[in-house]
């Protein structure tokens, strides 16, 4: 295997590597995903949370139980909690407990404001599906109009924009709008869990969306938090000649991971429901078919956990550094 000295050929990669070196170490990042509650103020078409019944758990409302659970998770080694839902903004008493207990970020639809003054350091990711008309059609509301007013100019907020095959033409204008309100964006791709007609990706739409995302990254480097290698892996579902899928996925909950041989995976990662007991299979829905899963977090984690495999040439290593650097920015291990 080549040494780091052999592998780093340019100053940009060197600077990024220096920034992530500690984070990527053995005691670096240990994240898990938690459902804060099992309710939401939207009913988006195609929402996997409700369609797969993840809300059907005996939601634990006791804040003392939550406090004890957070302590247990920290004792398990978790040092970063990714809070999802349901909808975290609807349970601020629970967010208070999380915020006081562990470094955390929240994923929200942005319709109800999470008060910045109450959580000054919390990273907030807002889900977004497209332009005004598309959001109204699929989510019943122009959520961007509402969320951008809530969070305009907030340096610790980004949009998590899920791109669908029919909405490629919106990516440019939507990215521009996000930049205009002083926020950032990270892209991921729609997974057609419910076989909606016209929503499957094809070789042609994969190639087009890759070009669009690359172009946006070149044109708006201060707005788009991404990496061209991430775009490539996401749209080809391959990395170093390997095909993404169940036997490669790094984001299966450790507590239920019985794969053999066990692939490289996120250390200690679990996705846990709002009863603090039920473990979801992985970072997304149990009803999702791994063969058509385009989960962006799983793709970037896949790259990240396979560091050694990228240590065979300067180009491969630069790609690994680029994606890990992006991950570190999104999950606050280094500044934007
Ligand atoms: S905002 Fe999220 S949890 Fe709520 S309905 Fe939409 S996709 Fe589902
Ligand atoms: S659905 Fe996606 S994230 Fe879940 S195990 Fe399969 S590949 Fe991994």
For the chain, domains (ranges, CATH) are 25-306 (3.20.20.70)
CA of 46 to the centre of ligand 1 (A): 9
Q: What pLDDT score does 26 carry?
A: 47
Q: Give the residues surrounding ligand 2 with Cβ less than 6 Å away.
A: 246, 249, 251-252, 282-284, 288, 290, 293, 295, 298
Beta bridge partners, 184, equal 158
CA of 221 to the centre of ligand 2 (A): 29
Greatest Cα pair distance, the chain, in angstroms, is: 54
Task: Evaluate whether 221 touches 320 at the Cβ level (below 8 Å).
Answer: no
Residue 37 has phi, psi (to 5 degrees) of -155, -170
CA of 213 to the centre of ligand 2 (A): 22
Q: What pLDDT score does 47 carry?
A: 86
Neighbour-count burial of 325, counting CB atoms closer than 10 A to its CB (0-12 exposed, 13-18 middle, 19+ buried): buried
Residue with tokens 């058509």: 292
Task: Evaluate whether 154 touches 124 at the Cβ level (below 8 Å).
Answer: yes
Instruction: State which residues of the chain have pLDDT below 70.
Output: 1, 24-27
Q: What pLDDT score does 164 carry?
A: 94
Which residue's C-alpha comes closest to atom 4 of ligand 2?
A: 282
CA of 47 to the centre of ligand 1 (A): 6
Cis peptide before 261 (omega within 30 of 0): yes
The tens digit of pLDDT for each residue in 206-220 reads: 999 999 999 999 999
CA of 135 to the centre of ligand 1 (A): 12
Residue to substitute in 53, 54, 91, 109 for testing ligand 1 pocket (most ligand atoms within 8 angstroms of CB):
109
Closest ligand to the CA of 289: 2
Q: What pLDDT score does 48 carry?
A: 84
Residue to substitute in 36, 38, 44 for testing ligand 1 pocket (most ligand atoms within 8 angstroms of CB):
44
Task: Evaluate whether 101 touches 70 at the Cβ level (below 8 Å).
Answer: yes
The tens digit of pLDDT for each residue in 56-104 reads: 999 999 999 999 999 999 999 999 999 998 999 999 999 999 999 999 9
Which residue's C-alpha comes closest to atom 6 of ligand 2?
A: 290
- Is any ligand 1 atom within 6 A of the Cβ of residue 193? no
- Is any ligand 1 atom within 6 A of the Cβ of residue 47? yes
- Is any ligand 1 atom within 6 A of the Cβ of residue 229? no
The tens digit of pLDDT for each residue in 247-275 reads: 999 999 999 999 999 999 999 999 999 99
Query: In this prediction, what percent of the chain has a pLDDT beyond 70?
Result: 98
Which residue's C-alpha comes closest to atom 8 of ligand 2?
A: 249
Q: What pLDDT score does 24 carry?
A: 54
CA of 35 to the centre of ligand 1 (A): 12
- Is any ligand 1 atom within 6 A of the Cβ of residue 49? yes
- Tell me the three state secondary structure of residue 162: strand
Question: For residue 202, what are its two tokens?
Answer: 């094809």
CA of 95 to the centre of ligand 1 (A): 18
Closest ligand to the CA of 49: 1
């Amino acid at each position: 295997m080549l040494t780091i000295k052999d592998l780093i050929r340019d100053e940009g990669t060197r600077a990024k590597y220096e920034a992530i070196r500690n984070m990527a170490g053995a005691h670096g990042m240990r994240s898990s995903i938690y459902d804060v509650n099992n309710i939401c103020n939207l009913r988006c078409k195609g929402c996997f949370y409700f369609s797969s019944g993840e809300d059907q758990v005996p939601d634990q409302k006791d804040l003392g139980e939550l406090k004890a659970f957070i302590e247990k998770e920290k004792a398990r080694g978790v040092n970063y909690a990714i809070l999802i839902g349901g909808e975290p903004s609807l349970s601020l008493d629970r967010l208070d407990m999380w915020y006081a207990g562990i470094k955390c970020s929240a994923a929200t639809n942005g319709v109800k404001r999470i008060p910045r003054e109450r959580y000054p350091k919390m990273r907030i990711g807002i889900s977004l599906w497209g332009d005004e008309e598309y959001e109204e059609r699929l989510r019943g509301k122009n959520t961007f109009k509402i969320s951008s007013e809530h969070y305009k100019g907030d340096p610790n907020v980004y949009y998590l924009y899920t791109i669908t095959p029919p909405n490629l033409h919106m990516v440019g204008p939507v990215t521009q709008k996000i930049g205009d309100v002083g926020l950032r964006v990270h892209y991921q791709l729609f997974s057609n869990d419910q076989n909606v007609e016209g929503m499957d990706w094809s070789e042609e739409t994969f190639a087009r969306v890759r070009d669009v995302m690359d172009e946006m990254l070149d044109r708006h480097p201060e707005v788009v938090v991404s990496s061209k290698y991430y775009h490539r892996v996401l749209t080809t579902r391959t990395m170093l000649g390997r095909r993404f899928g169940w036997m490669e996925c790094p984001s299966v909950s450790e507590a239920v991971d019985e794969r053999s041989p066990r692939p490289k995976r996120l250390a200690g990662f679990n996705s846990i429901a709002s009863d603090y007991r039920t473990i979801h299979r992985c970072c997304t829905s149990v009803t999702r078919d791994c063969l058509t899963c385009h989960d962006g977090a799983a793709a970037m984690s896949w790259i990240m956990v396979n560091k050694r495999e990228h240590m065979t040439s300067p180009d491969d290593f630069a790609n690994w550094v680029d994606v890990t650097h992006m991950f570190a920015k999104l999950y606050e291990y280094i500044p934007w």
